[in-house]
Structure 1
Amino acid sequence: MKNVLHILLFLIALQTDAQISDFKSIDFKKADLNALECDIKSLDNLPKLVEQLTLNLTTDVERFRAIYMWVSTNIANDYSLYNKNMYNRRRFKDKAQKLESWNKRFNKTLFNTLTEDKKTICTGYAYIIRELAKVANLDCRIVNGYGKVSTTIDQLDTPNHSWNVVKLNGKWYFCDATWASGIPDPETNFFTFNFNSGYFLTDPKLFAISHYPIDKKWLLLEDTDYSFEEFTESPLIYNNAYKHLQVHILPEKMHNIILKNQKIVFDYVLKSSLSANDVHFLIDDGFGSLKTKPTSISIKEQQLTLEHIFERTGFYDVHLYIKDDLISTYTFKVKSKI
């Protein structure tokens, strides 16, 4: 068991080493080990749980990391519960009394499922992160808003996601334990733990592509004019993007109309340098998918810039891969003239 834990710690260290720029001097191995070796497996006594998780940790960021790691590796995502909640919230969205009644019943169900079965949805993850952080004297808030998990985000008429912000050294940082914990199968509802460290203290510019808060102050962006429309038009990025990217720069939109032979630029800031052999597109032209190298690839330290030219008119789905990981999706309608 010890060997498995230390292998996991090594893989986690590879993920976290280059991404949390404000905490480069912090080694999270001790915090992660506290979380992974914690012998308390229930939520019956939060002070005792926090005491064990934060034992011998000297900084707030390490204490929060241990809490976050424990939640992300011990609480399962209940996709069927999420679907049931979203169905009824849409069903009662124009019936205030029925919606209030549903929310009260659901919150009780959600709390019982979290404490008894250690299963929950995003609101439960955000709640338990906040409560554990509060016990550790950390300022942590729940943020409600929209999470982009498909190309139909613009069809949402009600918020569908929750996450956290935490204040460390006087500055607010993002985290999303729901998406970090693993992936539920939408067909079987079977959940597999698969910790993704990229959702811990994520760069706001990357976070904003897939998260939009109801209260815009929690965008944490210098550009406070970033709108919900811009959010819905932005590219679709996947879970693995958070492992490899620090910032997504270009293209700014998912759906693009361009001219034949026009040069298209894809620009990213990486968490660690890559080889050109690690990068490829999977391009679907409606007749099949073809693994394709960009027209040009430039990697300078942690800056990845790709250029591509479409030589024929048509409609193309373009999927970016780094190694075997699907990173992002874009569409291009290529015309002979606009």
Structure 2
Amino acid sequence: MPANQQFLLDNRPAGEAVASNFKLVSSETPPLQDGQVLVRHHYLSLDPYMRGRMSDSKSYTAPQPLGEVMLGGTVGEVVESRSPRFQPGDKVVGMGGWQLYSVVNADEPGALRKVDTSHVPLSYYLGAVGMPGVTAWYGLVKIIEPKAGETMVVSAATGAVGSAFAALAKARGCRTVGIAGGPDKCRYAVEELGFDACIDYKLHQDAASLSKALKEACPDGIDGYFENVGGMVLDAVLPRMNAFGRIAVCGMIAGYDGKPMPLTCPALILTSRLKVQGFIVTEHMDIWPEALKELAGLVATGTLRPRESVAEGLEAAPEAFLGLLKGKNFGKQLVKLI
């Protein structure tokens, strides 16, 4: 069995996460038992939700245990199998974590899924045709419930979730506006992702200024908003929401370091009769096949052309993750492990 390298969560962050929260170790990969497979990871997914798991605070799921391998989505190849369901050479997606290899109980529901790489690149199963893409699909289709001609807005517009949201919303005949950081990201959003407009939040010092820009980009108001950020961005969006607008709350990255995020005008939720609903996509596994089918089709036809930021080698994972939390990535953040 091959030697393995792993990143463990060594200690919990106090405020901002730092590289010293993680510890790189080497270990022996245990021999396979009946029903298990050995997966060599090709790519590791880095996602904002991991920051919430690092803290020992109330959340929708248990915190990441100290001294254990950091949780994370992976794609790779089966290199050894003692399960009739998988053969060496199968390309698979799972939750292998921050390590080079994982031993997976193949009979555990949802632990490992074969994927077809003939039309969709392997890495896309961690982004556009994976959890982030399904997240965009669920928030748009099941919570916002868009109608043709409506205006949709998404924050973190050029990330894995935002780029999928754009393709899905445009496919439903909606005017789609993004909020992103920097002129390059905004240009990419419009020219390659198909957004009708994209607002650079870095040009705005406060919610009032950003809200004014949203009014110009959304002259008919906002019917649906997909929230990834919170804080000033949410304060800017709320005054622009139309009556009976819908807000899908996916992430609050502005508060992931434990900073308070007061809402300036919560009364707007009442006066505009808004629906505001948070969700966790892994609690809705029944919709995944439908969502993945549509997302794979959008990629295969070139309608969805996601961008990836790729860090090289497992050792690069902590710094790439910290950069993701500060918006330094451009598109889906991955770590290439092979």
TM-score by length of 2: 0.24
When normalised by structure 1's length, the TM-score is: 0.24
Considering fraction of residues, name the structure with more helix.
1
Specify the structure having the higher radius of gyration (Cα): 1
RCO higher in structure (CA 8 A, sep ≥6): 2
